[in-house]
Amino acid sequence: KLDFHPAGRHFLQIPGPSPVPDRILRAMSYPTIDHRGPEFAALGLKVLSGIQKIFKTTQPVIIYPASGTGAWEAALANTLSPGDTVLMYETGHFATLWKKMAEALGLKPEFIGLPGIEGWRRGVQADAIEARLRADTAHVIKAVCVVHNETSTGVTSNIAAVRKAIDAAGHPALLLVDTISGLASADYRHDEWGVDVTVSGSQKGLMLPPGISFNAVSKKAIAASKTAKLPRAFWAWDEIIEMNKTGYWPYTPNTNLLYGLSEALDMILDEGLENTFARHQRLAAACRIAVKAWGLEVQCADPDVFSPVLTGVMTPEGIDADAVRKTIYERFNMSLGTGLGKMKGRMFRIGHLGEANDLTLMATLAGVEMGLKLSGITIKASGVTAAMDYLSNQKIPALKIA
Ligand code: PLP
């Protein structure tokens, strides 16, 4: 319990859950309806077709009443068999957790990546995947699993390059991609990139609370599911896809979160997906400009794969990043993301996703800048001023009063 109630809204600037817009909260407060009734089917059909546009797919998208971890399990359990080898790439903490899950399910993950911390500062190296697949002439590897937007570091890997690598090696492995924190914030193209299963979640770019997650699938993934032997019941695609054709689920779906999803889809598609992506890129660029002005280092070391969703900020040697976060939380009522796994205490993460705009970012950067100073960190220059200069010079559609 806080010893007093801080004025104003809490600034939830972690890279998900992201702040839930009032419009979505209101939509979620509608009465829960009969999930077997006619009204529900209209909602089900609307969200199932709307979400395809966000994944850029014409193929089925399965919606689970579960967090992203459930959809991770669903992707593996539906397509693979006990003892199958899967090639997984270490981009950070979430890639590591997915690998742990694969082991727990009885798969044999081969975990490749750049050594030490270097791998956590760069995206997936598609040439390493190609080389490993070329060496696998017996086609023992059944799937390649990569994280698109690595939330622990702020690195967005090039999925088209991974697809190209698999094709160049002439390898039949499935391509499984986690874009739990990338969807609806970073450009993503399930069909064009030839992804077999895309995993995503509700609490990031979709601006919803945690609680629903997704598998977008391909024909090849569905074919694989017919012979895959890992045990599955709740996660099994076939019955869900069949019932989804009429807008229903085989079990009780998460009705009120689906109201929220329907509202989120309206908001994103009204803004226009490409505009949404451009806004995220603009905010991320402004955030990096601030970090550079402060004289601090961005965790992602390769400009080609800077994340539009979040920015990882490394604190100077000897400064505990979690102590900085604590100061900012206690003084300014703002939450920043902690350093995870190998980066614990060495970095904090600034989320700029979902409904973030120029002014929410500026307030966030002001809180960080004040917090850095209060933590005894000498900054080179004002990141706030640098970011304002950048943002005020961007050409973006302005609101017009008729
Ligand atoms: N993968 C990524 C990239 C994530 O960012 C997260 C959560 O932040 C997960 C997987 C796990 O999802 P969840 O916490 O919703 O189960």
* Beta bridge pairs of residue 174: 143
Mutate to test the pocket of ligand 1, among 69, 73, 98, 185 (most ligand atoms within 8 A of CB): 69
Question: Which one-letter amino acid corresponds to residue 217?
Answer: V
* Ligand 1 centroid distance, CA of 16 (Å): 9
Ligand 1 pocket, 382 CB below 6 A?
A: no
How high is the mean pLDDT of the chain? 97
Q: Both tokens of residue 248?
A: 């229903």
CB 72 within 8 A of CB 279: no
List Cβ<8 Å contacts ≥24 apart for 34-43: 35/248, 35/249, 35/252, 35/253, 35/255, 36/248, 40/247, 40/248, 40/255, 41/246, 41/247, 41/248, 42/247, 43/247, 43/255, 43/258, 43/259, 43/262
Indicate the DSSP class of residue 374.
H
User: Domain coordinates of the chain in residue numbers?
Assistant: 11-19+273-392, 22-269
Contact 82, 230 (CB under 8 A): yes
pLDDT value, residue 296: 98
* Among the four given CATH numbers 3.40.50.2300, 3.90.1150.10, 3.30.450.20, 3.30.1490.20, the one describing domain 11-19+273-392: 3.90.1150.10
| Fold held by 22-269 | Aspartate Aminotransferase; domain 2 (3.40.640)
Alpha-carbon distance of 46 to 36, in angstroms, equals 16
Q: Which of 210, 169, 179 is nearest to 18 (CA)?
A: 210
238-270 pLDDT per residue, tens: 999 999 999 999 999 999 999 999 999 999 999
Tell me: pLDDT of 4 over 80: no
- The Cα 315–Cα 375 span in angstroms is 11
Taking 90 as the threshold, does the pLDDT of residue 1 lie above it? no
Nearest atom in ligand 1 to the alpha carbon of residue 71 is: 16
DSSP secondary structure code for residue 177 in this structure? E
The finding on whether 256 has its CB within 6 A of some atom of ligand 1 is no
pLDDT tens string 174-204: 999 999 999 999 999 999 999 999 999 999 9
CA of 62 to the centre of ligand 1 (A): 17
How far, in Å, CA of 304 to CA of 301, rounded?
9
Q: What is the pLDDT of residues 34-78, one digit of tens each?
A: 999 999 999 999 999 999 999 999 999 999 999 999 999 999 999
d(CA 71, CA 375): 39
* Whether residue 68 has its Cβ less than 6 Å from ligand 1: yes
Residue 239 CA, distance from chain mean position: 27
